[in-house]
Structure 1
Amino acid sequence: MEELIELIYMEKRPVVTPERRVKDFLNSIQRAKNGEEISVRGFIILRRPPNAPRDGIYYLLSPAAPSEMKSYRGLRAYLVIEITESTVINAKIQPGEYVEAEGVIDAYPFGTLRLLHTTRISPADYSEYWKDYRTLALSKSELEGLISDTIYAGYELERAITYSLLTAPFVVGTNWLDGFTLSGFNGLEGSKNVMLSLWEALRYIHSLLPWEMQLRRDKWAEIEDDGLLGVDFRFTRPSRAGPLYYVPHNKTLLESKVPVPKWALKTFEKKEATFLTPRAWIRPEDEAALLAETPFVLTEPVSYERNRELEELVPNLIVTVMLAREKLGTLNPWELKDYGKKFESFLTKNRREYGELFDALTLSGKVFNANLRYRLGARLLGSMARLEGRLSKPLITDLIGIYQELTDLWVNELPEKEKLRLIREYERYVGSDRLAGRALGIFANLEATREDGTVSREEYINALVEYGIAKGKAEEIIDNLLREGYLYEPFPGKLRLIRW
């Protein structure tokens, strides 16, 4: 019964449209009386309005984003803003900039236009453009339903696409920003068609997002006729736009070592945007794997179909994303204690199950490097919490389930030549002492969940004893690892791993 009620509700779901924005904008400025002080937000259009006096600077303020105006043919509206020497300007005055203008409303000698004698122009956050319609946000089940009715893939991959749209919160102690990386690699039995199918599905999702939210090299767009005043103008992305999303613009990039163009590499490495990046070949050292919160290995094609409901509700989806980002913007270390314990257990389980191959995959520069994967997992946990509305222990269990599936895929789908190469690298690293290698793996488990990578000597001894190594032997192993350069002591009684 509840599902039926929700379906009926979705049928009647109001949509955030340019027409709704224009009507709301007109209502707000028409209610104001001449001489009244008001504050209004909108996008600056650097075009002089008709009948503008010659004694000042006059521009237009649009309630709808310029990119929406390109395809919208309905009701339009502007507010004329007057800028004088006394106007305090704290925002960039560039076409397409989203600002808040304060001043005194007045009549204007052209049609139904009104004039704002502007006293102050301040920068406005692009997210507020969407959060003004917070009551029209989608529910969790509505969002998941839209994705699953559009993209047909494994359950975990469908979920990961949803998480990627919500982006990741900032995790205290890391240098990354609030982007997200979802990568997909050809499995052992896969073909290029597998990656092409994922790329095409992701491109479709990406094409539905506003121009302002697409990470693009071309920073300017233009409108030849605004449909109301007959003006043409160029516009750029607002300074405070975000989040940004990127999908490779052509299939040749899927063959690249990193499926990201050179101009976007720094953005990719800093996680300043969300990257949805399929990759033609599977290698555990690829940056697309190393920096991905969800590095999937695919053996079956992904399919998608155009979804009219999704296309209509994309603005509501964006409202949902903006509100989720507002609700959970940052994760603190103290919130990750339960996750840290579960992650250590996950590492221990897979070291026992997959042995040296998993150890090799957790070395520095590999896809499951313990410290890096822990931090990426914390970000994924934050994305999952954004969907649920809060962080909880069941979410941690779900996260470990996703990472277990990813581990199984990587271990099982790596070509045999790759597996042998990785094991040889690992053996060169640990030498002939297998017990020392296992001890290094245990240390990696511990340091992965520490903010600064430091583990106390006592804690390490206790972990080795718990594994089944006698205390005296454990102390001997630690001394050998220090002497041979695998560990070092930054402070007495504190240990850190030396990366190679």
Structure 2
Amino acid sequence: MEELLALLREEHREPLTPETRVRDFLREIQGRNGEEVEVEGFLLLRQPPNAPRDAVYYLLTPLSPEELKKSKLRAYLVLRIDEASSIEDSVYSGAYVRVRGILDAYPYGNLRLLRVIELKETSYENRWLRYEGYTLSRGELESLISSTVYANYETERAIIYSLLSAPTVIGAGNWGEGVTFSAFKGERERSVLSLWEALKYLHSLLPEELKLRRDRWTEFDDEFLGLDFRFARPRAKLAYYVPHTRAMLKRPRPVPKWAEEHFREKSAGFLSPRLVMKPEDETATLGEAPLVITEDVAYERNRELEELIPNVVATIMAARRRVGVLNLGEMEDYRYRFEAFLMRNRNEYGELFDALTLSGKVFNVGLRYRLGARLLGAMGRFEGKLGRGLISDLLGLYQEITDTWINELPDREKLRLLREYERYIGNSRVAEIGVRIFEDLEATSIDGTVTREEFLKALIEAGFRREHAGETLEKLLREGYLYEPFPGKLKLVRW
């Protein structure tokens, strides 16, 4: 019976609307005078009509600035603040706050009043988490995206993973949760431009608080109350950005200067197709899934998605809470299978793949390993849990991306990369193989060092005889490819 009810709910998914929030808010403040309650909402540092002079009076509303402008049904609660109230210093007009106080009647009109005991800013994400009953299933979310953006499987999935963002990965750098969605031009420029239009449409549907902006301030005029409000959008922990002009798709970094720090630190999600295809492009080197678009992409306005976008946001917030932190040091299976993925592609593509793994390139081993762990977390958010099968899905996606880069990269770019690689590695074939194996081990280690025993074992597994493995290690130390910062610990010399 429960499964049947769940199926019926999916068939007739109820949208999360501003009116729902208003009705719930009104129920919360309809208690008896003298009753202590705790409510959440947006703080408006504006006095209500006919405010008495015995204290400071402000307003609280369950609706965001954007919702206030669009919704016909609104609700306000008068907050009375005096010397006995505990107020957090950092609150501002537009902040999402939690307020505890005593209910009372406002002396004018039919507004309710709360005598504030405590007021403090709380996580904006709570606004969505309290409506977890409105979240979408995995199938519903996938269906909404695939019925809006018509692209291949990998592109549709990458869009979903980017929206869900990546968990914190201990041992993978101090990045935020933002995923960099990058998609590069193959043969047809039109494909990338149509994908950009689709991403702009998706971005336009998001709440204003989840759009990365330089200016956070907005204004609203409530004719019924006879008040105008100026307030900031609340500080969401994660916002999203899509380039707003076609010219941005060709810039070295597809973001304005004010957003560059967010881009580097991944404190926002960047959905940015590219009209250039270079292995050094920052959206490639920092992109969790640097796709190459070889097929036409199309989109159409989706009325169901537009109606359910608040449910999508609630789903994103719930998924972020469900898979919040990963530890790279505990992902041994991922490490071994990632190393096997590297070896397989080196055997198939040779020096060209090696060239793409150099520092600053799209498949730089250290970066790709850490970015892959983040993407694995985003996939876990979509699936609802992390499982070993997701590693196969991740490496399958990376194999598809690798094959496409190798096949679509212009010949002149391939020649340039091979020349760079030859300068880096020199003429010694033994040194080339040894450095290549060492780079894989170093990139997937937790502290950036490799023990002598680990390196010798990897050389033997790669086909070296035991005595030749020892000779190769000493040769790399002697010729300056490796050094030993601590006894028994090795590191690669960066050229």
* TM-score, L = length of structure 1: 0.96
The superposition leaves residues 78-111 of structure 1 with CA deviations (integer Å, 9 ceiling, x where unpaired) of: 0000111221112533121001111111101233
Partner of 1:22: 22
Superposed, 1:129-148 pairs within 5 Å as 129-148=127-146
Partner of 2:294: 299
Contact between 1:91 and 1:99, CA under 8 Å: does it hold in 2? no
1:454 aligns with 2:449: yes
Moved more, 79-88 or 262-271: 79-88
Partner of 1:199: 196
The superposition leaves residues 303-350 of structure 1 with CA deviations (integer Å, 9 ceiling, x where unpaired) of: 111111111111111111111111111101344111111100100000
Write the distance in 1 (CA, Å) between the matches of 2:478 and 2:299: 56
Write the distance in 1 (CA, Å) between the matches of 2:24 and 2:402: 51
Partner of 1:78: 76
Superposed, 1:224-235 pairs within 5 Å as 225-226=221-222, 228-235=224-231
Write the distance in 2 (CA, Å) between the matches of 1:385 and 1:65: 30
Opposite residue 309 of structure 1, the aligned amino acid is: E
The superposition leaves residues 109-160 of structure 1 with CA deviations (integer Å, 9 ceiling, x where unpaired) of: 2332111111211111111100111111100111111111110111011001
Corresponding residue SS for 2:331? helix
Task: Give 1:52 shift.
Answer: 0.7
Write the distance in 2 (CA, Å) between the matches of 1:423 and 1:171: 33
Contact between 2:169 and 2:327, CA under 8 Å: does it hold in 1? yes
Write the distance in 1 (CA, Å) between the matches of 2:492 and 2:3: 52
Partner of 2:180: 181
Aligned-residue sequence identity (percent) comes to 58
The superposition leaves residues 456-489 of structure 1 with CA deviations (integer Å, 9 ceiling, x where unpaired) of: 1111111111111122222222222222222211
Corresponding residue SS for 2:290? strand
Write the distance in 2 (CA, Å) between the matches of 1:48 and 1:19: 24
Partner of 2:371: 376
Moved more, 373-382 or 450-459: 450-459
Partner of 2:211: 214
Contact between 2:218 and 2:233, CA under 8 Å: does it hold in 1? no
Out of 437, 453, 460, the position equivalent to 1:442 is 437
Superposed, 1:248-267 pairs within 5 Å as 248-267=243-262
Write the distance in 2 (CA, Å) between the matches of 1:145 and 1:228: 41
Moved more, 327-336 or 98-107: 327-336
The superposition leaves residues 283-309 of structure 1 with CA deviations (integer Å, 9 ceiling, x where unpaired) of: 001111110001111122311111111
Partner of 2:328: 333
Corresponding residue SS for 1:402? helix
Superposed, 1:461-472 pairs within 5 Å as 461-472=456-467
Write the distance in 1 (CA, Å) between the matches of 2:296 and 2:137: 29
Superposed, 1:46-61 pairs within 5 Å as 46-61=45-60
Partner of 1:88: 86
Corresponding residue SS for 1:41? strand
Contact between 1:351 and 1:359, CA under 8 Å: does it hold in 2? yes
Write the distance in 1 (CA, Å) between the matches of 2:222 and 2:481: 65
Corresponding residue SS for 1:342? helix
Write the distance in 2 (CA, Å) between the matches of 1:470 and 1:409: 35
Opposite residue 15 of structure 1, the aligned amino acid is: P
Partner of 2:269: 274
Out of 410, 413, 417, the position equivalent to 2:412 is 417
Instruction: Assess, with a 3 A threshold, how the Cα gap between structure 1 residues 44 and 363 changes in structure 2: closer, same or farther.
Output: same
Superposed, 1:303-314 pairs within 5 Å as 303-314=298-309
Moved more, 395-404 or 116-125: 116-125
Task: Give 1:7 shift.
Answer: 7.0
Structure 1 unmatched runs, 5+: none
Instruction: Assess, with a 3 A threshold, how the Cα gap between structure 1 residues 274 and 28 changes in structure 2: closer, same or farther.
Output: same
* TM-score, L = length of structure 2: 0.97
1:160 aligns with 2:158: yes
Opposite residue 251 of structure 1, the aligned amino acid is: R
Task: Give 1:70 shift.
Answer: 1.7
Partner of 2:395: 400
Give the CA RMSD over aligned residues: 1.6
Q: What is the total number of aligned residue pairs between the two structures?
A: 493
Poorly superposed stretches of 4+, deviation over 4 Å? 2-8
1:495 aligns with 2:495: no
Task: Give 1:8 shift.
Answer: 4.8
Write the distance in 2 (CA, Å) between the matches of 1:431 and 1:150: 50
Opposite residue 228 of structure 2, the aligned amino acid is: D
1:12 aligns with 2:12: yes
Task: Give 1:3 shift.
Answer: 12
Moved more, 476-485 or 273-282: 476-485
Write the distance in 1 (CA, Å) between the matches of 2:89 and 2:430: 62
Corresponding residue SS for 2:309? helix
Corresponding residue SS for 1:39? strand
Corresponding residue SS for 1:138? coil
Structure 2 unmatched runs, 5+: none
Task: Give 1:237 shift.
Answer: 2.2
